[in-house]
Amino acid sequence: MSNVIALASPNNARTADTRPPTGAAATYTVKEVAELLRLSLGGTYQAIRAGEIPAKRIRGRWIVPVHRFHAWLDAQDDSEAAHPAA
């Protein structure tokens, strides 16, 4: 028996992909967002209703698209660094 080692080729390299991995949810619940941000559930709903956190209301339920949420969160880091609190 011989040992075969497969090396990754550039053609097999994963390219930047904004879609969630297979089987991963495309959206967060408000509760999940609250846990990620370490905010209260009520405060998270308030921020969503105010348009501070990107979300959509579908059939009376708020959902937060995963990629929009993370893009928004990354932008918050940039804007806070550019405009520190006084």
- The domains found in the chain, sorted by start residue, are 24-82 (1.10.1660)
CA-based radius of gyration for the chain: 19
Please say if the pLDDT value at position 13 is more than 60.
no
Q: pTM for this one?
A: 0.64
What is the per-residue pLDDT for 24?
78
> What is the chain's mean pLDDT, rounded?
79
Please say if the pLDDT value at position 54 is more than 50.
yes
Half-sphere exposure of 82 (CA within 13 A, CB side): 6
| 58 vs 7 pLDDT, higher one | 58
Please say if the pLDDT value at position 63 is more than 90.
yes
